[in-house]
Structure 1
Amino acid sequence: PESIVPIRADLRDSRAVAEACRGQDAVFHAGALTGIWGKKKDFYQINVAGTRHVIDGCLEHGVRKLVFTSSPSVIFNQSDMEQVDETVPYPSYYLSDYPETKALAEQAVLAANGRQGLLTVTLRPHLIWGPGDPHLVPRILDRARKGQLVRVGEGVNRVDIIYIDNAVEGHIRAWQALEEGSPVAGRCYFLSDGEPVVLWDWINRILGSMGIPPATRSISYGTARRLGWILEWGYRIFGLPGEPRMTRFLAAQLATSHHFDINRARKDFNYEAVISPEEGMKRLLKSLQARPEG
């Protein structure tokens, strides 16, 4: 809808966040610190405290609806998760600060439902992709061009992805259905394209379209996990800049299957993908080929 206005603010600045909430009927909170590595304090201040600032801003200014962009990684337990639904509990521990702080943020949003008339919902889109993506595909292409892209595991793991238009569609439909007495209020939902892909086949198709050789070198999941542990230890002990090339969390994400049952979203707010994976891939490849740097 044309009435949706993007606003950028430092989530650590409670007054700036509150001001962004002023005069709004609904707030879509999509801001976060993402990544596999970083300072725990930064993840906490932005993802957890920042989300609490959004909640407080909504309450202060009488916002009716809060739609929070969460992540399926909040329930990831480092093993294959195939067609799991929203009843899967949070794990007892996390291998990365990102999913842990997103889980805390998600719980805060759900707990705020019903406070002072505020209605909340959290959405869990997995691997948002498409033209203009600043994270997923550019990182894959960069590593592949440098010869650093190595397949982890047997290369047959299936994962959910979601094209950007479908992620937007899910957010809009959830917002429209978020009303008093609606089953949407106070619940979380997985979102995806509805068709899991074989991760490494999907990656290699993108590489091939850019004239980059496929990722054929591989290491076992166990080896990648051990390497991740060693690198994490070294980066922490010696305070090395940047991020490790491998972490235990990244190894698990690259080697395991994780796709989700989206029937709750279909039932509660009529979610359906508006762009098929094949059409989305055509649009992505066209956009990449139009930019020589990929």
Structure 2
Amino acid sequence: MGHTDHERVLVTGGGGFLGRAIVRQLKMAGDVVTSFSRQSYRELDDLGVRQIQGDLADPQALKQAFTGVDTVFHVAAKPGIWGDFDDYFRVNVTGTENVIQACVRNRVKRLVYTSSPSVVFDGNHMEGVDESVDYPGRFHAPYPETKAIAEQLVRRADGVLTIALRPHLIWGPGDNHLFPGIIRRAGRLRRIGDGTNRVDTIYVDNAARAHILARDALKRNPTLSGNVYFISQDEPVLLWEMVDTFLDVAGFGPVKKTISPGTAFFIGRSLEFFYRLFAVKQEPPMTGFAAKELATSHWFDISRAKQDLGYLPLISTEEGLSRLRQWVSSGEEK
């Protein structure tokens, strides 16, 4: 990492998939790390990380947790494609507002925020776009909408230096979201569209490293504050080929059946309607947002991250997949 001036850092959601990877790299760099999460994690205890349990929606808890901290990595969020807008707003928007305020009150120098490329997704193909692309007029789900509001709060924050990162489809050993979600649907998945849509992904350790590079860049060059960066493996893959690869890693065959994007969107919107009507809590097997995401290309120009942050994906997709295979065959994902 190259910096000898060890910092006191705090990671919100340090027990999550990306949060843990960031914590591990900070510890390796010699920083003093605290995690702020709703629950306690044995793995963080094993790493010798101080854990504070609390809720992002509780400003008082954050104010105390951020005392004496140099940099905050705000990774915690409510993810997913389905749920009540207010629940998303409470965690993703109010939580981020509270994080910013706690940073300012405690004179925290830097805040690195984990955003998402879905904040600029308008339902159409996005190929090779860069950070100049604007937020869409309307969103297809509460997650991207609340993340977009939060990202803008971070970019406009006053009294703390900030960078927002937009990692796309994070995967790797320890994944509790993307990979298991695909595996759970093995045998029931339908390819949406002709299978030619390409997407960016990012291996979890590359995403974590980008966060630390963002912190280091803010130290060197405070004028980067307020910037946002796409980060990825820098090699878009065919989405459905990646899905098949994940299925193969888990010992399942490829997706065989196909459905048109229009039909998938119609089914998704209909399911949303009925799930809302009957107040069904679990996630529908398809939503309008998911149908659009799975049928379109979304990959991004990351030259700004290369230039400003010195970011390059050190772990190739091939190497990442072999690590994922090892993790699955070791049975740890059960």
Same fold (TM over 0.5): yes
Equivalent residue number for residue 218 of structure 1: 258
Shift of the alpha carbon at 1:210?
2.6
Query: How has the CA–CA distance of structure 1 residues 265 and 208 changed in structure 2, closer, same or farther, with 3 Å as cutoff?
Result: same
1:285 maps to a residue whose letter is R
Matches of 1:237 and 1:46, distance apart in 2: 24
Shift of the alpha carbon at 1:289?
1.7
Greater relative contact order structure (CA < 8 Å, 6+ sep) = 1
**3-state SS, counterpart of residue 127 of structure 2:** strand
Equivalent residue number for residue 258 of structure 1: 298
Decide whether the 8 Å contact of 2:161 with 2:222 is kept in 1: no
Aligned residues: CA RMSD: 1.3
Decide whether the 8 Å contact of 1:23 with 1:61 is kept in 2: yes
Shift of the alpha carbon at 1:6?
2.4
Equivalent residue number for residue 243 of structure 2: 203
Decide whether the 8 Å contact of 1:130 with 1:163 is kept in 2: yes
Aligned length: 289
Equivalent residue number for residue 151 of structure 1: 191
**3-state SS, counterpart of residue 165 of structure 1:** helix
Counterpart among 21, 39, 61 of residue 106 in structure 2: 61
Equivalent residue number for residue 33 of structure 1: 78
Matches of 1:292 and 1:174, distance apart in 2: 31
1:5 maps to a residue whose letter is T
- CA shift digits 1:238-274 (9 cap, x unpaired): 2122111111100011110000000000011111111
Equivalent residue number for residue 108 of structure 1: 153
Matches of 1:224 and 1:270, distance apart in 2: 40
Identity of aligned residues (%): 48
Equivalent residue number for residue 134 of structure 1: 176
Matches of 1:152 and 1:101, distance apart in 2: 26
Equivalent residue number for residue 6 of structure 2: none
Shift of the alpha carbon at 1:154?
1.0
Query: How has the CA–CA distance of structure 1 residues 292 and 24 changed in structure 2, closer, same or farther, with 3 Å as cutoff?
Result: closer
Deviating runs (4+, > 3 A) in structure 1? Answer: 179-183
Equivalent residue number for residue 169 of structure 1: 209
Decide whether the 8 Å contact of 1:206 with 1:285 is kept in 2: no
2:36 maps to a residue whose letter is I
Shift of the alpha carbon at 1:207?
1.4
- CA shift digits 1:107-144 (9 cap, x unpaired): 000110xx23x101100000110000010001111110
Matches of 1:21 and 1:122, distance apart in 2: 19
Q: Is the deviation greater in 51-60 or in 232-241?
A: 232-241
**3-state SS, counterpart of residue 92 of structure 2:** helix
Is there any run of 5+ residues in structure 1 with no aligned partner, and where?
A: none
Query: How has the CA–CA distance of structure 1 residues 215 and 261 changed in structure 2, closer, same or farther, with 3 Å as cutoff?
Result: same
